[in-house]
Amino acid sequence: MYKIITIVGARPQFIKAAVVSRAIGEWNKVHQMQIEEIIVHTGQHYDVNMSDVFFEEMSIPRPAYNLHVGGGTHGVNTGRMLEKIEQVLLDENPNVVLVYGDTDSTLAGALAAAKLHIPVAHVEAGLRSFNMNMPEEINRILTDRVSSYLFCPTDTAMDNLSQEGYDNFAVNMVNIGDVMLDASLFYRRQNKASDGIRQLVDSLGSFYLATVHRAENTDSEVRISAIMRALEKISLYKKVVLPLHPRTKKILAAHNIQLKNIVTIEPVGYFDMLYLESHCDAVLTDSGGVQKEAFFFQKPCITLRDETEWVELVKHGYNCLAGADEEKILSAEARLRGGAMEFKHELYGDGHAGNKIVEFLMDK
């Protein structure tokens, strides 16, 4: 039996892990249950609509462990996760530890495994924003460096690793495409949005979808105020729907920023999110995953960051980087109204990234 420990903790990781868990299930059907997957939830995200909803909707196997580490600072969270994950790994002695993306849970899982000489497989390896002020950039660089299997989603990610000398390291690097494309293709077909979201979309007619949660925006009063001012102005002529991350909700309350025109809703499950993305006219976001989903649904995207890891979207004109600059956001939105965009590139693989990860691990 080949034992995989999967570490998850934050919303996008549940979606990515759902893809690979399904691929493991398919492998086991054909190959007489060769793989045992044990899911460890660090507890980084803990509200029902930030965590449980994804396990239920996407039928992800229940975590065997929940470490209940969440709500603290980066140092506290990462330290507590490291200690608790190490104990799980000592008890379970897996063949590989699978980590996703760039969160504190990713780094803690990778570090705990590497120190015990357990191979780490990093899904979404090689992405870089080249902004070391981002917690995510620190997490992804350090995670890549201690990983044995680097599953890159794009050629750019492969190139980034080569630039950093990874061709000289004894690691396995491969571009398998993006698991988020697998997820979007598979779950959109199920079309299971809630009645509430369908009614909201019907009542709005046309709308933009926005999400804002990145620390670089929420931790700066100047940036969060500018973004919200821009969204409020846009909302005067086109409704903006904003599912509000709990972090953003707290910050808006702390700075007493009142939203009058934006339609704020609680964070939604993945099916509702896919429905909003497929029915909106455009997306404004600082999310990594949502930038790509905008592209998957052929919607233009204005990114509320100064840089992005998904540079190919900017290069081909699907994504416009507007930062947290009110004027830039407003002029990017004005340009969008100028005409329909033609989507013609395939940038994130063939929708079978999950199967390729499993095949690659079992081949080694």
Binding site for ligand UD1 (CB under 6 A): 10-12, 44-47, 50, 71, 74, 102-104, 135-136, 213, 246-247, 250
In degrees, to the nearest 5, what angle opens at C-alpha 122 toward C-alphas 46 and 358? 100
Which listed option, ligand UD1, ligand UDP, none, makes contact with residue 45 (CB within 5 to 8 Å by class)?
Answer: ligand UD1
Which listed option, ligand UDP, ligand UD1, none, makes contact with residue 15 (CB within 5 to 8 Å by class)?
Answer: ligand UDP
Q: Where are the alpha helices (DSSP H) in 236-307?
A: 246-254, 270-279, 288-296
- By CB under 6 A, tell whether 15 contacts ligand UDP: yes
Residue 314 DSSP code: H
Please give the structure tokens belonging to residue 86.
Answer: 């190490």
Distance CA 85, CA 62 (A): 17
Q: Which stretch binds ligand UDP (CB under 6 A): 9-17, 58-66, 105-113, 141-149?
A: 9-17
**Cβ proximity to ligand UDP, 88 vs 312, nearer residue:** 312
- By CB under 6 A, tell whether 11 contacts ligand UDP: yes
- Rg of the chain in Å (alpha carbons): 20
**Cβ proximity to ligand UD1, 47 vs 306, nearer residue:** 47
Q: Is 213 a catalytic residue?
A: yes
Per DSSP, the chain holds a count of helices (H) and strands (E) of: 16, 13
Those residues whose C-beta lies under 8 Å from the C-beta of residue 179, and which sit 6 or more positions away, are: 16, 19, 20, 100, 123, 124, 153, 353, 354, 357
Shortest distance, CB of residue 137 to ligand UDP, whole angstroms? 12
- By CB under 6 A, tell whether 241 contacts ligand UDP: no
**Cβ proximity to ligand UD1, 82 vs 336, nearer residue:** 82
Answer for the pair 41, 8: CB distance below 8 angstroms, yes or no: yes
Please give the structure tokens belonging to residue 150.
Answer: 């680097």
Please give the structure tokens belonging to residue 115.
Answer: 């120190």
- By CB under 6 A, tell whether 288 contacts ligand UDP: yes
**Cβ proximity to ligand UD1, 40 vs 361, nearer residue:** 40
Shortest distance, CB of residue 285 to ligand UDP, whole angstroms? 7
Shortest distance, CB of residue 308 to ligand UD1, whole angstroms? 13
Which listed option, ligand UD1, ligand UDP, none, makes contact with residue 18 (CB within 5 to 8 Å by class)?
Answer: none
Q: Which stretch binds ligand UDP (CB under 6 A): 8-16, 190-198, 215-223, 317-325?
A: 8-16
**Cβ proximity to ligand UD1, 44 vs 278, nearer residue:** 44
Closest to 215 in 3D by CA, of 141, 293, 137, 328: 137
Shortest distance, CB of residue 307 to ligand UD1, whole angstroms? 14
Shortest distance, CB of residue 324 to ligand UD1, whole angstroms? 16
Which residues from 245-274 bind ligand UDP, rule CB under 6 A? Answer: 267-270, 273
Return the HEC string of 45-108: CCCHHHCHHHHHHCCCCCCCEECCCCCCCHHHHHHHHHHHHHHHHHHHCCCEEEEECCCHHHHH
> Catalytic: which of 41, 45, 122, 213?
213
Closest to 78 in 3D by CA, of 10, 148, 130: 10
Q: Show which residues are catalytic.
A: 213
Binding site for ligand UDP (CB under 6 A): 11-12, 15, 211, 213, 243, 267-270, 273, 287-290, 293
